[in-house]
Homo-oligomer: A and B are copies of this chain.
């Protein structure tokens, strides 16, 4: 039989591990067990034979193979060498820090700070690495040429949406953000060809956002999804999918790392759009900065 059709999965240059953890929720339970082992210690996994790994994950070899295919590999040997390469690249001292994990109960604040910063920084870096420049380019182009840009997001992602809106607005793009679903739906219904709708949802399962994005799409707008999970429902209603790479999936820290990752992507898009017309953007930024000047008190000074 021919190659399986496969879902894109094509783009995971930044990191196989990141890629895998992104797809984690889209995997079946047994495959997830395998995935977790692999993510937890890629180097060790690379050393194992398929039977070994299957046993460790309490499943069969068949499932391991299925897992390989699910993450875009041809088979186990390929996964193995990719993992080995990956593990080698991240010479990063694994350190005592809990990567992506929970904060240990007895931790003092210094530890907490270190752990959080580590995870946050990591999310930003890994997000950038796996971000597909080509997809970004297209999104930037769409935004730059859009008649109007609607940005949707609920809860924590709402902040990001709002932030994005503000940024675009500051460089003279016509952008909107709606905290309310009804208003958002109304707005989406008024979109048309040449407009852009951007939906932000970390999990990719926020029905409100999906619904609105779908509406926008049926009206002919270009739809963009920003999510951590490349196979989540929101991607089905999006023309372009941009993914973040935050490992945290628990509610633990209120999804801060994921938010930072989202903001990073937003920044990239923003700068990309601004770069399309530097002088105009610069002028707009200066004007807006000036506008708030009267709300600033005298410069930074040494105090008595």
Set of chain B residues within 8 Å of A264, measured between Cβ atoms: 116-117, 120, 256, 260
Min Cβ gap A117→B in Å is 3
A60 CB–B CB distance under 8 Å: no
- What total of chain A residues lie within 8 Å of the partner, measured CB to CB? 98
Which residues of A in the span 89-148 have a Cβ within 8 Å of any Cβ on B? 89, 91-92, 103, 105, 107-110, 112-114, 116-118, 120-122, 124-125, 127-129, 131, 133, 136-137, 140
The CA-CA distance from A268 to B128 in the complex, in Å, is 23
A173 CB–B CB distance under 8 Å: no
9 sample A-B contacts, Cβ–Cβ < 8 Å, listed by A number: A7-B303, A110-B133, A116-B268, A120-B260, A206-B295, A208-B295, A233-B297, A254-B267, A260-B260
Which residues of A in the span 200-242 have a Cβ within 8 Å of any Cβ on B? 203-208, 210, 229, 231-233, 235-236
Residues of A within 8 A of B (CB): 7, 25-26, 46-47, 49, 70, 77, 80-82, 84-89, 91-92, 103, 105, 107-110, 112-114, 116-118, 120-122, 124-125, 127-129, 131, 133, 136-137, 140, 154-156, 159, 162-163, 166-167, 170, 203-208, 210, 229, 231-233, 235-236, 251-254, 256, 259-260, 263-264, 266-268, 270-272, 274-275, 278, 285-286, 288-289, 292, 295-303
Set of chain B residues within 8 Å of A289, measured between Cβ atoms: 251
The CA-CA distance from A112 to B92 in the complex, in Å, is 24
The CA-CA distance from A138 to B147 in the complex, in Å, is 50
The CA-CA distance from A218 to B114 in the complex, in Å, is 34
Tell whether A267 pairs with B116 under 8 Å between CB atoms, given A292-B155, A297-B207: yes
The CA-CA distance from A252 to B286 in the complex, in Å, is 9
The CA-CA distance from A259 to B256 in the complex, in Å, is 12
Question: Residue on B with the closest CB to A229?
Answer: B300
Interface centre among A26, A109, A118 (most CB of B within 10 A): A109
- Copies of this chain present: 2
Q: Are B105 and A254 in contact (CB under 8 A)?
A: no
Q: Are B120 and A26 in contact (CB under 8 A)?
A: no
Set of chain B residues within 8 Å of A46, measured between Cβ atoms: 81, 84-85
Residue of B89, B203, B207, B268 near A88 (CB, 8 A) is: B89
Set of chain B residues within 8 Å of A163, measured between Cβ atoms: 156, 159, 259
Residue of B117, B159, B229, B278 near A128 (CB, 8 A) is: B117
The CA-CA distance from A47 to B82 in the complex, in Å, is 10
